[in-house]
Amino acid sequence: MAMQRPQRAVVTGGGGFIGSHVCDKLLAAGTEVVCVDNFSTGHRSNVEHLADHPGFTLIEADVTEEFEIRDPVTLVLHLASPASLPEFARLPIETMLAGSAGTYNTLRIARRHGARYVLASTSEVYGDPLEHPQKETYWGHVNPIGPRAVYDEAKRYAEAMTVAFRQTYGVDTGIVRIFNSYGPRMRDDGRVIPNFIAQALDGVPLLIHGDGEQTRSPCYVDDTVRGILAVASSGLGQPVNIGNVEEISVLGLARLARDAVGSGSPFKHVEADHDDPRRRRPDISLARRELGWEPRVSFAEGLGLTVAAMRQARQGLSG
C-alpha cells in the first residue's frame, strides 16, 4: 500500500548526478529536502539552482562521519558513494566507507526519526553475472579483491546492514538496485555514455575497452529517479531492480553516441577493463508488479537530451 508522501527528506550524495535529480523531483512534489554531500565526487553546480529554494537545505558533511539532522524527517535516501571505475581507483577506502560507515550512520538517523530509509544499491552486486537477465533473487558473481571490489562489496555490505536494521530495530527500509543510468549532469568520469559523447564532441577516437560486445541496459535518469521514489513511497523491504530492459552492446552505444553528436570520430579498441561484466540487463518484473514502474524514455530520446545537456554545459564553461 502506498505511503503518505514524505514531508521532509534527507538525500545523501544530493550533489551527485542521480542525487541532484532526486532533490529536484522531491522539491517539485512539495517535499522539503536536506541535501548532504562532501563534494568529493558530486558538484555544487548540480544543486546551485536550488540554493534559494525555501524548501532546500545544504549540509556539507561526510556521511562516513557522524552528522546530525535536528529537525524531524520522514525519509532518508542514502545515495552517497563514488560510482565509476576511475573514482574507485582514486578513492578506494572512501568508497568502502560510504557503503559501510555511511550506511550505518544514515540508518541510525532513520531509526532516530522513525523515517522510511532507502539504500541506493547497484547492479554491481551481481558482478559479472552468470544469470541473465538478473533477478533480485540472484546472489551474484563478484570478485572480492578485483578493481571493482571496493564498490561491489561496499554495496553488498550496505544491503546486509540495511536488512539487519530492519530485522533488529524495525526500521522501515527499502533497497534499490540501480542499473546503468545516464542523463544531464553526468560527468565523463569513466562511464561509457558520457565518455563516448565527450570524445565525439572533441573529435577524438571513441575508446572501446575490449571487443565492445559486452552489453549494458541504459536507463534515463528521470526513469531511474521515478523508480527510486516509487520504492521510497512504498512499503517494500526487499531489493528492487530499477533499470531498462533494452540491452545494447558497448560498441552499439559508441555508434549511437557518435551519430547523436554528428561526429566523424573513429573507434579505437583498447585493453578491456578487468572484471568488466559481459552482460547486464535487469529483470524488472518485481518493479512492474509491485510499483507499476517501468522505463518511459527511449534510449534515442534520452541520448539526444544528454548530448544537448553536455553541449550546453561545455558552452557555459567556455563562455
Residues designated catalytic: 151
Q: How far is CA 224 from the centre of its chain?
A: 8
Grouping H, G, I as helix, E, B as strand and the rest as coil, residue 188 is coil
Q: At what angle do helices 101-113 and 92-99 cross, to 10 degrees?
A: 30
> Which amino acid is it at 273?
D
In this structure, are residues 110 and 116 in contact, taking their beta carbons and an 8 Å threshold?
yes
Give dist(CA 110, CA 91) in Å, integer.
27
269-272 LR contacts (CB < 8 Å, sep 24+):
269/208, 269/209, 269/210, 269/211, 269/212, 270/207, 270/208, 270/209, 271/209, 271/210, 272/209, 272/210, 272/211
Most distant CA pair in the chain, distance: 57
